[in-house]
Structure 1
Amino acid sequence: MLLVLAMAMTGTIFTDLIIYRTCLITLGINETECLILHNNSSSEEALKINTKVQPHASLILMSKSFIESIFPSLLSLFLGPWSDKYGRKPVILSGYIGISLTYILLSMMTNWEVGPWYFLLTYIPMALLGGISVLMLASICYITDITDNNERAWHLAWLDALISLGLLVGLFSGPAIYQAYGYTAVFSVASVLCTVATLYTFFIPETIQSRTSGICDIFAFMLVKDIIDTCIKKRDGFNRPLVWSCIACITLLLIDYQGNLAIGYLFASARLGWTVDQFSIYIATSVVIGIFGTIFGIKLIRRCTGFAEATIAIISVTSSLCAALVQAFTWQSWHMYLSIGVGVFGNLSRPMIRAILSKAVPEKDTGKVFSLATFVETLLPFTAASLYTFLYSQYMPPLYPLPVWFFSVAFYATTIIILIYIQIHMKRNIISFTPLREDNDSIIDIY
Structure 2
Amino acid sequence: MEEDKSENIRENILEQLPTNKRVVRFNYGLEPALFTLYFAFNLTNAVLQNQILKQTCLITGYNMTICTHLNTDNYTKTIEEEIQPQVAKINMSILLLNSIFPALFSLILGSWSDIFGRKKILMLAFTGYTCTIGLITLFSYISDNINPLTPWVYFFAEMPMTFMGGWTCLDVSVCCYAADLSSQQNRSIRLGTITFLNFFASAIAYFCSSYILNATNITFVFIIAISCAAAAFLWSIFIIDETIEPPIEVSKFDQIKEIFSTSRIHEIFTTLCKRRPQKCRKTLWSLMTVPILVVFTMHGNGTLNYLFVREKFAWSLREWTIFESTNTIISVSGLFIGLLLLKKTFKFSDITLGIVALTSLLVDALMKAFAQKSYLLYLSSGITPFRLLATPMFRSVMSVIVPHQEIGKIYSLTTCFEALSGLGAGPLYTVIYNNTFTVFPGAYHLLSACIFFFNLILCAFIFRWKSQVVSYQYE
Q: TM-score range by the shorter chain?
A: over 0.9
8 Å contact from structure 1 (residues 290, 344) kept in 2: yes
What code does the residue aligned with 2:240 have? I
- Residues in 2 aligned to 1:145 and 1:238: alpha-carbon distance in whole angstroms: 26
What code does the residue aligned with 1:331 have? Q
What code does the residue aligned with 1:425 have? W
The gaps in structure 2 that reach 5 residues or longer are 1-34, 143-147
Q: State the shift of 1:90 in Å.
A: 0.3
Are residue 419 (structure 1) and residue 455 (structure 2) matched? no
Cα-to-partner distance string for 1:321-364 (whole Å, 9 max, x where unaligned): 11111101112110110110122111111111011011111111
User: Secondary structure of 2:149's partner?
Assistant: coil
TM-score, structure 2 normalization:
0.87
8 Å contact from structure 2 (residues 99, 423) kept in 1: yes
Are residue 10 (structure 1) and residue 44 (structure 2) matched? yes
**2:444 corresponds to which of 381, 404, 427:** 404
Higher mean C-alpha displacement, 337-346 vs 205-214: 205-214
Q: Give the aligned partner of residue 252 of structure 1.
A: 293
User: Secondary structure of 1:111's partner?
Assistant: helix
- Residues in 1 aligned to 2:91 and 2:279: alpha-carbon distance in whole angstroms: 40
Are residue 297 (structure 1) and residue 338 (structure 2) matched? yes
8 Å contact from structure 1 (residues 329, 401) kept in 2: no
Change (3 A) 1:421 1:237: closer
8 Å contact from structure 2 (residues 41, 133) kept in 1: no
What code does the residue aligned with 1:31 have? M
Cα-to-partner distance string for 1:62-106 (whole Å, 9 max, x where unaligned): 101111111000111110110011000000000000110011111
8 Å contact from structure 2 (residues 312, 441) kept in 1: no
Q: Give the aligned partner of residue 117 of structure 1.
A: 152
What code does the residue aligned with 1:209 have? E
Are residue 142 (structure 1) and residue 177 (structure 2) matched? yes
Q: State the shift of 1:43 in Å.
A: 2.2
**1:311 corresponds to which of 341, 352, 364:** 352
Are residue 34 (structure 1) and residue 67 (structure 2) matched? yes
Q: Give the aligned partner of residue 374 of structure 1.
A: 415
What code does the residue aligned with 1:324 have? A
Q: State the shift of 1:205 in Å.
A: 1.6
Identity of aligned residues (%): 29
Q: Give the aligned partner of residue 207 of structure 1.
A: 243
- Residues in 1 aligned to 2:93 and 2:344: alpha-carbon distance in whole angstroms: 44
- Residues in 1 aligned to 2:119 and 2:344: alpha-carbon distance in whole angstroms: 34
Are residue 84 (structure 1) and residue 114 (structure 2) matched? yes
Higher mean C-alpha displacement, 97-106 vs 167-176: 167-176
What code does the residue aligned with 1:158 have? T
Higher mean C-alpha displacement, 305-314 vs 94-103: 305-314
Cα-to-partner distance string for 1:136-178 (whole Å, 9 max, x where unaligned): 1100000001100011111111111111111111112222222
Are residue 160 (structure 1) and residue 201 (structure 2) matched? no
Q: Give the aligned partner of residue 327 of structure 2.
A: 286
What code does the residue aligned with 1:138 have? S
Q: Give the aligned partner of residue 54 of structure 1.
A: 84
8 Å contact from structure 1 (residues 245, 422) kept in 2: yes
What code does the residue aligned with 1:248 have? T
Higher mean C-alpha displacement, 400-409 vs 71-80: 400-409
Q: State the shift of 1:291 in Å.
A: 1.2
8 Å contact from structure 2 (residues 400, 472) kept in 1: no
Are residue 354 (structure 1) and residue 384 (structure 2) matched? no
**1:338 corresponds to which of 379, 383, 402:** 379
8 Å contact from structure 1 (residues 5, 166) kept in 2: yes
User: Secondary structure of 2:196's partner?
Assistant: helix
Q: State the shift of 1:400 in Å.
A: 4.0
Q: State the shift of 1:422 in Å.
A: 1.3
Q: State the shift of 1:237 in Å.
A: 7.0
User: Secondary structure of 2:170's partner?
Assistant: helix
Q: State the shift of 1:381 in Å.
A: 2.5
- Residues in 2 aligned to 1:179 and 1:69: alpha-carbon distance in whole angstroms: 33
Q: State the shift of 1:401 in Å.
A: 7.1
Cα-to-partner distance string for 1:246-304 (whole Å, 9 max, x where unaligned): 11001111112222211111001111011111000001111111111011122222244
- Residues in 2 aligned to 1:127 and 1:196: alpha-carbon distance in whole angstroms: 20
The gaps in structure 1 that reach 5 residues or longer are 434-444
- Residues in 1 aligned to 2:383 and 2:423: alpha-carbon distance in whole angstroms: 27
Q: Give the aligned partner of residue 223 of structure 1.
A: 264
Cα-to-partner distance string for 1:383-429 (whole Å, 9 max, x where unaligned): 213211221111004x2473211011001101111112112211232
Higher mean C-alpha displacement, 52-61 vs 113-122: 113-122
Q: How many residues align?
A: 429
Q: Give the aligned partner of residue 194 of structure 1.
A: 229
Cα-to-partner distance string for 1:100-152 (whole Å, 9 max, x where unaligned): 00111111111222111122111111111001111011000000011000111
- Residues in 1 aligned to 2:345 and 2:279: alpha-carbon distance in whole angstroms: 33
8 Å contact from structure 2 (residues 311, 441) kept in 1: no
8 Å contact from structure 1 (residues 2, 194) kept in 2: yes
- Residues in 2 aligned to 1:237 and 1:219: alpha-carbon distance in whole angstroms: 34
User: Secondary structure of 2:467's partner?
Assistant: helix
Q: Give the aligned partner of residue 442 of structure 1.
A: none
8 Å contact from structure 1 (residues 72, 134) kept in 2: yes
What code does the residue aligned with 1:412 have? F
Q: Give the aligned partner of residue 4 of structure 2.
A: none
TM-score, structure 1 normalization:
0.92
- Residues in 1 aligned to 2:62 and 2:175: alpha-carbon distance in whole angstroms: 46
- Residues in 1 aligned to 2:339 and 2:471: alpha-carbon distance in whole angstroms: 23
- Residues in 1 aligned to 2:442 and 2:118: alpha-carbon distance in whole angstroms: 43
- Residues in 1 aligned to 2:429 and 2:440: alpha-carbon distance in whole angstroms: 16
What code does the residue aligned with 1:206 have? E
Higher mean C-alpha displacement, 281-290 vs 209-218: 209-218
- Residues in 2 aligned to 1:31 and 1:200: alpha-carbon distance in whole angstroms: 40
Q: CA RMSD for the aligned pairs? A: 1.6
- Residues in 1 aligned to 2:318 and 2:370: alpha-carbon distance in whole angstroms: 23
Are residue 96 (structure 1) and residue 126 (structure 2) matched? yes
